[in-house]
Amino acid sequence: MTSLLDPPAAHAAQTSWRRLPAGQQPSWPDAAALDAAVTALASALPLVTARECDLLRARLAAVARGEAFLVQGGDCAEELDAVNAASIGRTAGTLQQLAAVLGYARSLPVVTLARMAGQYAKPRSSPTEIRGGVELPVYRGDAVNGHAFTAAARTPDPHRLVRVHHTSAATVNLVRAYGAGEHAGPGQVLAALREFTDASPERDRYAALTAEIERAGGFTGTGDGWHTPGELFMSHEGLLLDYESALVRLDPATGGAYATSGHLLWIGERTRRLDGAHVEFFSRISNPVAVKIGPSIETDDLLRLIGRLSPEGEPGRLTLVVRMGAGKIRDVLPGLVERVTAEGLPVAWVSDPMHGNTISAPSGHKTRRFDDVLDELAGFFEVLTGLGAHPGGVHLELTGDDVTECVGGGDGIGFGDLPARYRSVCDPRLNRGQALDLAYRLAELLDTARPSSGAVRESR
Ligand SMILES: O=C[C@H](O)[C@H](O)COP(=O)(O)O
Ligand SMILES: C=C(OP(=O)(O)O)C(=O)O
Ligand SMILES: [Mn+2]
């Protein structure tokens, strides 16, 4: 709540973080060029409106209350030169198909949130990369530098920030058009699930669920009217504070400051320190926000983080995205959930089963095993359900394209297949088939875990 004595909320959001340490920011070599980019962004049009952000916040409040399920996903890193309409349509379509399967499996309305239209900045483990004895700055996402291993490409260029805004605006525009048009209707989603099932090596395993979803008409929920199949919100990691801050706008209706680069922004695992600039910036914006939680987090720090990011404790404001690794989730998560629940803090719990399960293939490609991803998801559901809390959703790195970046899944992609179509410039994504495999396999696991699941199914 802002009082009349507070500095205008937008000004505070744009300035207060500057006195604090900001992790993972590029060293821009040309300060004047950065100023010019920030000035251009400061008068640029917003990509999203405050009311849309409020709507997503209300949707996520239903997730936090256990009344809805979140499906969030998209690229690890979007690429300015690779963005194209067909690929955006395929990824948006894949998210809608996942929503149909998981919404049916959970008997819950689904909130669909793309990692799209802004996912251009990457936190990295090391500031430099060495190849063949040559050391260059690491690739930090297309918002910062180029992926090619040359000194010119790897030099941070602030003009890229302006290109990110333009390209994200075009992406948002296209997704809205798809959502408003026929692409995302239940008929298209059902046809896509039928086509996937018929072509899958696992078709005998998936056929019954596909038929059930078809009989239910493909609606992902209880029919209370708030879920519209084409509704797709936009999210990205709010990493580059110069960019995010320049796009903050005051909402005259509420007096709140909104980050207008996307509906939901999240803080990554590497930049969530309590006394850091990211937590300060996020504490000042009115959007729904999320924070990634890795296995090293201490329970007391998590409680402090929740206090900073959601001081008023409103459901929908804060989503915790858990990314522990399949081998750790069952040990680390229970203590966190118990304390947060005991303190009565209304957060939404979501699983990112990707980032704790990255391995190196013999070829050197970064990859992830489908079975590890599924195992972490299973662990997430076991822990939350076992403690009487709501497993609120999934956060996946995926694409609608037929890439070969993760191993396993119905098509049995092996290490030797990775070079064929490894396109990601950062982390390995599930392709559409693997993402749907994951949804069907998870639905199956949840169904077997449920007592008298047959009776539940028949009563739908
Ligand atoms: O997407 C997440 C991170 O940016 C990524 O996993 C870091 O990868 P790195 O360890 O190769 O830097
Ligand atoms: C950087 C990412 O994740 P994390 O912060 O969880 O490592 C990501 O989501 O791409
Ligand atoms: Mn990633």
User: How do residues 84-138 score in pLDDT, each as one tens digit?
Assistant: 999 999 999 999 999 999 999 999 999 999 999 999 999 999 999 999 999 999 9
Q: Per-residue pLDDT tens for 75-86?
A: 999 999 999 999
User: Residue 453: inside a domain, yes or no?
Assistant: no
pLDDT score for 1? 46
Q: pLDDT class for 223, splitting at 50, 70, 90?
A: very low
Flag whether 4 is in a domain. no
What is the residue with the minimal CA distance to atom 10 of ligand 1?
A: 125
* 122 in contact with ligand 1, CB cutoff 6 A: yes
| Residue 2 counted as domain residue | no
Asked whether residue 455 is domain-assigned, the answer is no
Given the CA of residue 77, which atom of ligand 2 is nearest to it? Answer: 10
Atom of ligand 2 nearest to the CA of 271: 5
Q: What is the pTM of this model?
A: 0.95
Protein residue with least CA distance to atom 10, ligand 2:
76
- 157 in contact with ligand 2, CB cutoff 6 A: no
Mutate to test the pocket of ligand 2, among 116, 144, 236, 269 (most ligand atoms within 8 A of CB): 269
What atom in ligand 1 is closest to the CA of residue 268? 2
- Measured in angstroms, how far is the CA atom of residue 373 from the centroid of ligand 1? 17
- Check if 395 has its Cβ closer than 6 Å to any atom of ligand 2: no
Name the band, by pLDDT with cuts 50, 70 and 90, for residue 450.
Answer: low
Look at the chain and report how many structural domains it folds into.
1
pLDDT at 52: 96
Per-residue pLDDT, 227: 53
Q: What is the reported pLDDT for 183? A: 66
Range of the domain at 390: 9-448
**Residue identifier of the C-alpha nearest atom 7 of ligand 1:** 124
Closest approach atom of ligand 2 to CA 270: 5
Asked whether residue 384 is assigned to any structural domain, the reply reads yes
Q: How far is the CA of 121 from the centre of ligand 2 (A)?
A: 10
> Please, are residues 137 and 96 in contact by the beta-carbon 8 Å criterion?
no
Domain CATH number, residue 223: 3.20.20.70
Q: Is 121 in the pocket of ligand 1 (CB under 6 A)?
A: no
Query: Does residue 459 lie in a domain region?
Result: no
C-alpha 355 – ligand 3 centre gap (Å): 6
Domain assignment of residue 148, yes or no? yes
Residue 457 lies in a domain: no
Atom of ligand 2 nearest to the CA of 427: 10
The pLDDT of 186-191, averaged and rounded, is: 89
244 CB-side CA count, 13 A: 35
Verify whether ligand 1 is closer than 6 Å to residue 360 (CB atom).
no
- The pLDDT tens digits for 369-416 are 999 999 999 999 999 999 999 999 999 999 999 999 999 999 999 999
> In angstroms, rounded to a whole number, what is the distance separating the alpha carbons of residues 174 and 145?
25
Helix (H), strand (E), coil (C) string for the chain = CCCCCCCCHHHHHHHHHHHCCCCCCCCCCCHHHHHHHHHHHHCCCCCCCHHHHHHHHHHHHHHHCCCCEEEEEECCCCCCCCCCHHHHHHHHHHHHHHHHHHHHHHCCCEEEEEECCCCCCCCCCCCEEEECCEEEECCCCCCCCCCCCCHHHHCCCCHHHHHHHHHHHHHHHHHHHHHHCCCCCHHHHHHHHHHHHHHCCCHHHHHHHHHHHHHCCCCCCCCCCCCCCCCCEEEEECCCHHHHHHCEEECCCCCCEEECCCCEEEECHHHCCCCCHHHHHHHHCCCCEEEEECCCCCHHHHHHHHHHHCCCCCCCCEEEEECCCCCCHHHHHHHHHHHHHHCCCCCEEEECCCCCCEEECCCCCEEEEHHHHHHHHHHHHHHHHHCCCCEEEEEEEECCCCCCCCEECCCCECHHHHHHHCCCCCCCCECHHHHHHHHHHHHHHHHHHCCCHHHHHHCC
- Say yes or no: CB of residue 325 within 6 Å of ligand 2: no
